Amino acid sequence: MPTPEAETVRQVTGERSEGATAEGTERAPALRPLAVARAALGTYRRHTARVAVIALVIFVPLTLADIFVTRLSEALLDDVGPVLAAFLLVAALALTSGELVAVEFFAGLLDRLVDEDQYGRAPVTLGENVRSLPHARLALASLLVWAITSAGTAILIVPGIVAFTFLSLSGPIINVERRGVIAGLRHSVRLVRGHFWLVFACVTLPLVAEEAIVAALHDVQVFHGAVAFFLLEVGLAVTLGSVIALNETTIALALMTAHGRQDAPRPRRNP
């Protein structure tokens, strides 16, 4: 009788994972993009309300802050002194950092959901899930990935995309296996190696498409005003953004399992 872990890896990869050793010395079987998409969409469909609640709690405050900073900048655009300009710059940087960290925390909360839905782990409450996250390490990892990706994009667009793809699984790795930041980044590169196009197709490309959709709607002025902007941003986070995060976690957990996943101990539930 196959274990839930072996069955999930078999469904996503199309092969059995008995060959993987505890040390992960054997290569994971080739993953299948359509199977990843089916698994992620299945989790989303079965837990739509839970995913929506997590997304709303995280992205509603961020979107409101984004609207506030944008409107303030537009209102003061014609009369910005050096002090106010410095304040707006700091506010924009803080907002960008907050968005990066929030996205990583959102994905971290979905890690547990995928673990429960696809691997049969014992369910935990949202509060327990939030407390169990390695907050500092996830925040630092998200900022490092952003810095490395931005540096690559500044040189040419392609190096940034390649760097992001190789590092995109670091969040689930740090969260699930409780690795350090640098160790998580390195392990992400190891896991993505040999599965680059899968991760690119299921994670990187949809993220680029999401950004392109928002930019295109801005350019053609499909929506006007703060309310329309708010609805668009939050709607994309609850739908497309959530599915992308589930794709990422589905791939990461399948690869970690096939390579001899080592779960870190979780806090026990209070009786």
**How many domains is the chain partitioned into structurally?**
1
pLDDT at 157: 84
The answer as to whether 47 is a domain residue is yes
Dihedral angle at the C-alpha atoms of 127, 239, 65, 204, nearest 10 degrees?
100
Closest C-alpha to 120, from 193, 65, 183, 43 = 43
Q: Is the pLDDT of residue 151 over 80?
A: yes
The answer as to whether 166 is a domain residue is yes
Mean pLDDT (whole number) for 176-182: 93
The answer as to whether 120 is a domain residue is yes
The CA distance from 16 to 6, in Å, is: 7
Mean pLDDT (whole number) for 183-203: 94
Phi, psi (rounded to 5 degrees) for 169: -95, 5
The answer as to whether 21 is a domain residue is no
**Residues of the domain holding 82:** 4-12+30-258
Closest C-alpha to 73, from 58, 98, 93 = 93
Q: Global pTM?
A: 0.78
- Contacts of residue 203, defined as CB under 8 A and 6 or more positions apart, other chains included, come to 165, 168, 244, 247, 248, 251
Q: Is the pLDDT of residue 77 over 90?
A: no
The answer as to whether 65 is a domain residue is yes
pLDDT averaged over the chain? 80
The answer as to whether 19 is a domain residue is no
pLDDT digit string, tens, across residues 9-22: 555 554 444 443 33
The answer as to whether 22 is a domain residue is no
pLDDT at 91: 65
Q: Is the pLDDT of residue 189 over 80?
A: yes
Q: What share of the chain in percent tops pLDDT 90?
A: 43
pLDDT at 5: 52
The answer as to whether 240 is a domain residue is yes
Mean pLDDT (whole number) for 73-89: 63
pLDDT band at 23 (very low <50, low <70, confident <90, very high): very low
